[in-house]
């Protein structure tokens, strides 16, 4: 039974967000981990005004909300999310000379392909990262020593105070797997990336090389959220190395297992629960703390 307050919020949400608003939507299929319970409310935003409107409405109603990209860096709790999940499907991309302008729901894969077609160099390292621009900028996604913040020139954000602003790269305070978006309630709406003209053959070769390297250590045929913990920034230590040293590859809790070829990846081998993944993560952190006195920090975001 819904209480009076929830009924009122539900009515208001429906009246403002319209028929596209879903209720009790299971989140597992919207994540690469394939784990997670229901969101009370769920809206797919295909246009930027829908995205902005949904965020503003949630804020206005004091309702928890979560902007979801491709769900490739999150672990949703088994109990789901008491609030509104806004799935960002705003995917438009335009190539203008050596710049790529795109909406924040654009897929990295599409940026990789479009830059290749236009002989633009810079996005090769993103080949095989299954996220959207919003999620990638949020966590300054990267690989092979490069990260997305390096390419960003300017962006449009919806600030925590509800303004729409154009900001430059410096605004994001990019660092290893960090950006200001992690600390603020800003929502990324669109971005302009600056690339370099390059030889198409060289770009194609680089992408193929990167994908070959990734396929050796990343379980593309299994459900996961990529690397679970961040590397140790100041010590330049890889979390995978430390985890390997504590025997992580042999560990599992229920259907949550450490991937046999990469100790920093937890896979959902069948029907893992979020609580099993979290328990496994706690065990891994403890082992690394005891042996190396290092505190591993999650790269994956817990949504509960």
Ligand X SMILES: Cc1cc2nc3c(=O)[nH]c(=O)nc-3n(C[C@H](O)[C@H](O)[C@H](O)COP(=O)(O)OP(=O)(O)OC[C@H]3O[C@@H](n4cnc5c(N)ncnc54)[C@H](O)[C@@H]3O)c2cc1C
State yes or no: residue 149 binds ligand X (CB under 6 A): no
Contact of 144 with 218, CB cutoff 8 Å: no
For residue 66, the minimal CB distance to ligand X (Å) is 6
DSSP 148-180: GGGTEEEEEEE-TTS-EEEEEGGGG--BTTB-G
Select the residue interacting with ligand X from 224, 231, 264, 268 (CB under 6 A).
224
Contact of 55 with 74, CB cutoff 8 Å: no
Select the residue interacting with ligand X from 54, 141, 253, 277 (CB under 6 A).
141
State yes or no: residue 42 binds ligand X (CB under 6 A): no
State yes or no: residue 231 binds ligand X (CB under 6 A): no
Residue closer to ligand X, measured from CB, 85 or 248:
85
Q: Scanning residues 93 to 122, which ones bind ligand X (CB under 6 A)?
A: 104
Distance (Å) of CA 101 to CA 39, 68, 114, 158, 189: 31, 20, 11, 17, 11
Tokens 């088994």 correspond to what residue? 78
User: Which has the closest alpha carbon to 280: 295, 266, 299, 290?
Assistant: 266
**Interface region with ligand X, contact rule CB under 6 A, candidates 6-14, 196-204, 219-227, 266-274:** 219-227
Query: x/- contact string, 178-217, with ligand X (CB under 6 A)?
Result: ---x-----xx-----------------------------
| 126: enclosing H helix or E strand | none
Residue closer to ligand X, measured from CB, 2 or 26:
26
The region, left, alpha or beta by phi > 0 then psi within -120 to 50, assigned to residue 303 is beta
State yes or no: residue 301 binds ligand X (CB under 6 A): yes
State yes or no: residue 263 binds ligand X (CB under 6 A): no
Q: Scanning residues 162 to 181, which ones bind ligand X (CB under 6 A)?
A: 181
Neighbours of 218 (CB within 10 A): 21
Tokens of 247: 């025997």
Neighbours of 189 (CB within 10 A): 23
| 73: enclosing H helix or E strand | none
Task: Tell me the CA end-to-end span of the chain in Å, nearest whole number.
Answer: 21
State yes or no: residue 268 binds ligand X (CB under 6 A): no
For residue 12, the minimal CB distance to ligand X (Å) is 23
Tokens of 298: 């999650």
Contact of 106 with 133, CB cutoff 8 Å: yes
Residue closer to ligand X, measured from CB, 104 or 115:
104
**Interface region with ligand X, contact rule CB under 6 A, candidates 15-23, 68-76, 77-85, 286-294:** 68-76
**Interface region with ligand X, contact rule CB under 6 A, candidates 61-69, 75-83, 114-122, 272-280:** 61-69
For residue 1, the minimal CB distance to ligand X (Å) is 31
State yes or no: residue 48 binds ligand X (CB under 6 A): no
- Residues near ligand X (CB under 6 A) are 32, 66-74, 88, 104, 129-132, 134-136, 138-139, 141-143, 181, 187-188, 218, 220, 224-226, 301
């Amino acid at each position: 039974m819904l209480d009076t307050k929830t009924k009122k919020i539900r009515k208001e949400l429906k009246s403002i967000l319209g028929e596209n608003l879903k209720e009790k939507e299971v989140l597992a299929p919207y994540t690469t981990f394939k784990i997670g319970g229901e969101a009370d409310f769920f809206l797919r935003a295909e246009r930027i005004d829908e995205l902005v409107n949904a965020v503003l409405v949630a804020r206005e109603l004091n309702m928890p909300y979560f902007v979801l990209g491709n769900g490739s860096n999150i672990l949703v709790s088994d109990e789901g999310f008491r609030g509104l999940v806004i799935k960002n499907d705003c995917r438009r991309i335009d190539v203008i000379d050596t710049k790529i302008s795109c909406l924040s729901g654009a897929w990295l894969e599409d940026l990789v392909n479009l830059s290749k077609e236009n002989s633009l160099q810079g996005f090769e390292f993103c080949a095989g990262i299954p996220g959207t621009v919003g999620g990638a900028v949020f966590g300054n996604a990267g690989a092979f020593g490069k990260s997305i913040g390096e390419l960003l020139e300017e962006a449009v954000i919806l600030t925590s105070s509800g303004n729409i602003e154009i900001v430059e790269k410096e605004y994001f305070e990019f660092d290893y797997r960090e950006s200001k978006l992690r600390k603020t309630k800003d929502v990324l709406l669109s971005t302009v990336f600056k690339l370099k003209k390059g030889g198409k053959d060289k770009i194609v070769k680089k992408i193929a090389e990167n994908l070959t390297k990734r396929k050796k250590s990343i379980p593309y045929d299994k459900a996961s959220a990529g690397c679970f913990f961040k590397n140790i920034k100041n010590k330049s230590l890889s979390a995978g190395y430390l985890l390997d040293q504590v025997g992580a590859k042999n560990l599992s809790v229920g259907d949550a297992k450490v991937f046999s070829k990469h100790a920093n990846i937890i896979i959902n081998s069948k029907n893992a629960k979020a609580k099993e993944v979290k328990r496994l993560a706690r065990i891994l952190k403890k082992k690394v703390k005891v042996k190396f006195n290092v505190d591993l920090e999650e790269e994956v975001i817990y949504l509960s």
